[in-house]
Structure 1
Amino acid sequence: MKKFIRFTRLSIFLIFSLVLFSNNVSYAQLGWYFQNSGTTQLLTCIRFLNSNTAWAVGWGSNILRTTNGGANWQQVPSGTSSSFQNTFFVNVNTGWVVGENGTIIKTTNAGTSWFTQYSPVSSRLMYTHFFNENTGWICGYSGVVLKTTNSGVNWISKTSGASYNLNCIYFINGTTGFIDGDNGTIRKTTNGGENWYNITTPLTYNLDKFFFINDYTGWVTGINGTVLKTTNGGNNWLFTYTGVFCWITAVHFFDIYTGYACGGDYSNQTSGIILKTINGGINWTSTTHPVVPWMSFISFISPDTGWCVGQNGTIMKTIDGGLALPAAPILNTPANNSTLNTMTPYLTWYSSGGATNYTVQISPDQNFSSITDSITTINTGYYIPSGKLTNGLSYYWRVKANNSMGSSPWSTTWKFTIQYIPQAPVLIYPANTSIIYTLIPNFDWENVIGASSYHIQVSLTSGFATLVDSATVSTSNYLIPFGKLLNMHTYFWRVKAKSGSTDSPWSSIWYFSIEVTNINQLSSSTPSDFKLYSNYPNPFNPATKIKFDLPKKSHTSLVVYDALGRAVQTLVNTELKEGTYEYAWDASKYNSGVYFVRIISDNFADTKKMMLIK
């Protein structure tokens, strides 16, 4: 029976190894791909010194070295049987490895040989960090902190003030450093580790690895999907949203925006994860290969090129930043269950790492069985166009991220309700205080966004107690029927917009006067150009008609001059709307002779000759 169990375990391992090998071949240039480490032991740390040279350490006294970017890994004898937890090199020749039972070993010849340094403790040592070739620190279980100032010849115990197991020690300069560990422990020193003081964190569970990109900005990982961030030198730490709830073991940033994290479920050999952020940790995207064991450490030498190590001797590499499916976006605004006073709301969400564009859906039902609007955009925001939404209704919206690998799951679904009060219309024509020369003016006002109809009132009084017309129309203009208005009267008018059951305030109140005398608007159609026609008849006695075209609303002057250039009568001097007009000039009080009629409107001017013969 024992032989059968051994055979079964061996078979599982061989199958898993074949999967790793086949994945290495298939995915060599896309996302994360496997490199052959030559061991099946857990690897706990990897450090790249340059694009070619790196060291990896792990259990079973494993020390691995590559000099060709990981294409080949060579096992290096360590001279000890201890399992290792961490390594740090200050240059290509000089480095340290720490691990079980207080083990500290050092090389000064690029790993050709290793020698043991005296450790004053026997507990597990978890992490080592050096500021320069002489000054370095180590932390470990039971609150252990060790320091050397002579390249490890002597390691001195320092009081950390922590009784919990410590998992990481990290210095951002020669004096300022941090330790973390179980129960949410973070402690800080500003005097090279001589004294440590507690930093309050928003959690009580275990923390793992630090990484700082500068003196102010850093991150720390932990269980339950934890990645905390500081922007003030570690004095305060805030959560970032990873979207996962497993153990995040390590993090590495190449700049303040682009970073990677790894981890997984230690008890599940196919539950490993590798995360990426491109916005400093606001949100994270999974870049996990389909079969990944629990991952313990991650290291990058450029924004796109990095390595990750973990269970079963796993070493993975990426040269494209771990291209994979983006994470589901996190919605931002409007807040869930908002009530909005707009018909064109602006939807926003946080960017997802690796996404090239986003798909937005809006629906009147939370199952999205009918779609009000759907669009794909490269932006992280979207204005819903006018005419898509109905006032008084509620809508649901969601977003998914896309890239060349496919699409993320949909985001959570949020809801908003439109309660839009439209703006008061802006009046255009007849202009306020104007005199018009028609009994059937075409009232005009600016279109209001979200308006489904308009209500216009025309009155003889400014209080609108005496209405002469009241109408509801679907467009932003209204041709008043003949017979409603009388000549030589003044009228007041106003308009309000309607959207569903909601009305806007009334517009401002304008008034106009009607003086239908000798001018008549023949047509309200818009001519193509300004034009002054020759009068008809010509010669004439005693009256003639003068016709002109206006392609747009403008102030118009129509004046008659005698042969000496003296103005004898101003026929028109007011603002007229676009259209074709005709003025009937009665010259019975003028002597026979040559006269000229001149029009000036906008930038147009023209003159015509007239002959009066009595």
Structure 2
Amino acid sequence: MKILTTVMLYLMLFSAPYAKSQWVNQVLPISFPVASCYFPSANTGYIVGYGNLISKTSNGGTNWIDMSLPTTAENMNSVWFLNENTGFLCSTRDTLLYTTNGGINWTNHFYTVYQSDRIFFINGQTGWFTSNGLYKTTNAGINWFQISNQRAQSFIFINESTGWKINYTGSGNNELLKTTDGGVSWNVMFTTGNFRNLYSIDFINENTGWVCGYRGYIAKTENGGVNWTVQRDVETDALYIIDFVNPNTGWAAGDNSLVVRTTNGGSDWTNSSLSASRFQDIKFINENTGWMIGSFGKVYKTTNNGGLTSVSPDETQVKNYSLLQNYPNPFNPVTNLEFVIPDQEFVSLKVYDILGNEISVLVNEMKRAGSYTTEWNASEYPSGIYFYILSVKGKFVETKSMMLLK
């Protein structure tokens, strides 16, 4: 649709307000110390934590319900689902719990004398969990067998054979180990020094991976863990979880609301203003949609990799529609676009070039009342003036211009 006549009225470029955090805050029915989350689909998800508690959503996190667990389960450390109905829980007492009906009923599926800490499946058949060693299944969790007597702080596999794990050495340091036979044998790749603890590891292929840990430490390897380059080591607070959705874009989070994001493989990290005394888990189901959970029921969701956020109407006291000026402006190549709606509406936010051609759809869905910010990356477009239009069907339309300078 051509809109040149309309948008040419808005050629003046203005400074912008400060952009808010870029995640939607979702609310659990009970505030409890959360530990792990998993989403087998865009609609269905589970969050577990301490105090024998589990919450489930069937509508992408808009609503959550509490579900019952066996009274002997105690604290939940990790959750994984093979599909919307079949899943596993790692607990401090029953070790491994199992459901086949979407969490309505749970049975004690596998028991060891130690608690189980983390569970991970690479596909519908092959998975591992840590307890007093590393256990493996090759038949979707029907049977489990121990393949290692070493516990792991964190582990990841990128196929049925190749994986990495972090071990605590007992001397205040960590070892990072690699396997190429599915976890039967492990080789030490490096050992941290100066009491440098590592807490989380993530790989996107056999060569490229990251670790994070104490004092906001992040390091990257591009040769399967043989060599590591420190990318970040500047905080007093720890990073407990790291997750990459592609070779460029990743998130890490930890203590005291510390959340950082990169869009260039970790060469640069920027802070994000999310709030939790401690973040415990990050899960993306694709490059755009993901959840981040923190202490005492903090749940955040994004639908375009951190590009949107909402604030409660009670906090903002929204009364009018508004489209604010983008920030920064001029920009290169990323800018933030903010709008406010007073009621739940179907909202459209689109970007157009100087000729009136639609080039990007940033928002096109139902939104609750609140303030929203979306990020537009113009790396594929040339320098020049662009326009963005907020449309609320039958109620509100506003256009503003912005300038890309490369």
Fold conserved (TM > 0.5)?
yes
Match of 1:78 among 69, 73, 77: 69
Secondary structure (helix, strand or coil) at the match of 1:117 reads strand
Deviations 1:414-446 (A, max 9, x none): xxxxxxxxxxxxxxxxxxxxxxxxxxxxxxxxx
Partner of 1:104: 96
The 1:356/1:281 distance shift into structure 2, 3 A limit, reads: farther
Match of 2:52 among 32, 56, 61: 61
User: Conserved in 1, the CA contact under 8 Å of 2:276 and 2:295?
Assistant: no
The 1:113/1:254 distance shift into structure 2, 3 A limit, reads: same
1:222-301 paired onto structure 2 within 5 Å: 222-241=213-232, 243-264=234-255, 271-289=256-274, 291-301=275-285
The 1-side partners of 2:158 and 2:332 are apart by 37
Partner of 2:389: none
The answer on 1:378 being equivalent to 2:332 is yes
Which residue identity lines up with residue 180 of structure 2 in the other structure?
T
The 1:196/1:102 distance shift into structure 2, 3 A limit, reads: farther
Residue 285 (structure 1) shift = 0.8
Partner of 1:87: 79
User: Conserved in 1, the CA contact under 8 Å of 2:280 and 2:294?
Assistant: yes
Secondary structure (helix, strand or coil) at the match of 2:155 reads strand
User: Conserved in 2, the CA contact under 8 Å of 1:56 and 1:64?
Assistant: yes
Deviations 1:364-387 (A, max 9, x none): xxxxxxxxxxxx8738xxxxxxxx
The 2-side partners of 1:377 and 1:154 are apart by 55
Residue 169 (structure 1) shift = 2.2
User: Conserved in 2, the CA contact under 8 Å of 1:287 and 1:323?
Assistant: no
Partner of 1:193: 183
User: Conserved in 2, the CA contact under 8 Å of 1:137 and 1:169?
Assistant: no
The alignment's C-alpha RMSD in Å is 2.8
Match of 2:39 among 48, 58, 72: 48
The 2-side partners of 1:218 and 1:134 are apart by 24
Partner of 1:314: 298
Deviations 1:36-87 (A, max 9, x none): 1122221111122222111111111222211111001112222243211111
The 1-side partners of 2:261 and 2:224 are apart by 23
The 2-side partners of 1:95 and 1:76 are apart by 14
Deviations 1:13-50 (A, max 9, x none): xxxxxxxxxxxxxxxx9622321112222111112222
Which residue identity lines up with residue 103 of structure 1 in the other structure?
T
Residue 104 (structure 1) shift = 0.3
Partner of 2:144: 155
The 1-side partners of 2:180 and 2:118 are apart by 19
Deviations 1:342-399 (A, max 9, x none): xxxxxxxxxxxx9957xxxxxxxxxxxxxxxxxx8738xxxxxxxxxxxxxxxxxxxx
The 2-side partners of 1:245 and 1:356 are apart by 29
The 2-side partners of 1:310 and 1:49 are apart by 20
Larger Rg: 1
Which residue identity lines up with residue 262 of structure 2 in the other structure?
T
Match of 1:168 among 135, 147, 154: 154
The 1:69/1:283 distance shift into structure 2, 3 A limit, reads: same
Which residue identity lines up with residue 234 of structure 1 in the other structure?
G
User: Conserved in 1, the CA contact under 8 Å of 2:217 and 2:234?
Assistant: no
The 1-side partners of 2:124 and 2:287 are apart by 27
- Point out which structure has higher relative CO (alpha carbons under 8 A, 6+ apart): 2
The 2-side partners of 1:201 and 1:237 are apart by 11
The 2-side partners of 1:402 and 1:133 are apart by 40
User: Conserved in 1, the CA contact under 8 Å of 2:124 and 2:140?
Assistant: yes
User: Conserved in 2, the CA contact under 8 Å of 1:52 and 1:66?
Assistant: yes
The answer on 1:180 being equivalent to 2:166 is yes
List alignment gaps of at least 5 residues for structure 1. 1-28, 265-270, 325-353, 358-375, 380-400, 406-614
The 1-side partners of 2:327 and 2:205 are apart by 27
The 1:193/1:321 distance shift into structure 2, 3 A limit, reads: closer
User: Conserved in 2, the CA contact under 8 Å of 1:181 and 1:208?
Assistant: no
1:364-513 paired onto structure 2 within 5 Å: 378=332
The 2-side partners of 1:132 and 1:244 are apart by 36
The 1:322/1:245 distance shift into structure 2, 3 A limit, reads: farther
Q: Scaled by the length of structure 1, what TM-score is found?
A: 0.45
Residue 151 (structure 1) shift = 3.2
The 1-side partners of 2:220 and 2:94 are apart by 31
User: Conserved in 2, the CA contact under 8 Å of 1:226 and 1:245?
Assistant: no
User: Conserved in 1, the CA contact under 8 Å of 2:78 and 2:89?
Assistant: yes
User: Conserved in 2, the CA contact under 8 Å of 1:32 and 1:288?
Assistant: no
Q: Scaled by the length of structure 2, what TM-score is found?
A: 0.66
Partner of 1:208: 199
1:283-362 paired onto structure 2 within 5 Å: 283-289=268-274, 291-322=275-306
Secondary structure (helix, strand or coil) at the match of 1:224 reads helix
The 1-side partners of 2:141 and 2:211 are apart by 27
The 2-side partners of 1:73 and 1:102 are apart by 25
Residue 259 (structure 1) shift = 0.9
Partner of 1:569: none
Partner of 1:372: none
Deviations 1:436-492 (A, max 9, x none): xxxxxxxxxxxxxxxxxxxxxxxxxxxxxxxxxxxxxxxxxxxxxxxxxxxxxxxxx
Partner of 1:18: none
Matched pairs, number? 296
Residue 213 (structure 1) shift = 1.7
Which residue identity lines up with residue 225 of structure 1 in the other structure?
G
List alignment gaps of at least 5 residues for structure 2. 1-19, 309-325, 339-406
Partner of 1:4: none
